[in-house]
Amino acid sequence: MSPFFSLFLFLLFCISNNETAKILFTFYHDRGSHFGSMLPLMEKLASNGHSVYVLDTIFSINKSKLINYHRAQLPQDDEGKKLKRLLLISFGLKQILLLLLMNFLNMETIKLEY
């Protein structure tokens, strides 16, 4: 097989094998900072042909027309507030354990300074 024919087959395979994905982003926060930081990534993925879906719990003003938005209401009853607190505590404990493990293994942590 000639090198040009091999190169042609390789390029044909690379060009014809492009597929897009369906990507779901979830934002279960009552603040918009997480959403705002991910918006450029979501817009870039959508502009590259991917189907981007957002399930959020916040009202965001800067919505892109490229992205499909679905809003979910967070529970506001006592049971929902307990669940939300439990999830936040669980997340905090995981972060503390991760930092302790990194310290134990003498891994560097990134210090953010403002």
110 DSSP assignment: P
Helix count (H) and strand count (E) of the chain? 3, 3
Integer-rounded Cα Rg, in Å, for the chain is 22
Q: How confident is the model at residue 99 (pLDDT cuts 50, 70, 90)?
A: confident
pLDDT digits (tens, 9 = 90+) for 72-97: 666 566 776 777 777 777 777 777 77
Q: Measured between alpha carbons, how far is 38 from 25 in angstroms, rounded to an integer? A: 9
What is the reported pLDDT for 25? 82
Position 114 pLDDT exceeds 50: no
Q: Smallest Cα–Cα separation from 25: which of 39, 10, 11? A: 39
Tell me phi and psi for residue 85, to 5 degrees.
-65, -40
Averaged over 96-101, what is the pLDDT?
74
Averaged over 90-108, what is the pLDDT?
71
Q: Could you state, in order of their start, the residue ranges of all structural domains in the chain?
A: 20-74, 75-108
pLDDT digits (tens, 9 = 90+) for 9-66: 777 777 665 677 888 887 766 666 777 788 888 888 888 888 888 877 666 556 777 8
In sequence order, what are the residues at sequence separation of 6 or more whose Cβ sits closer than 8 angstroms to the Cβ of residue 89?
none
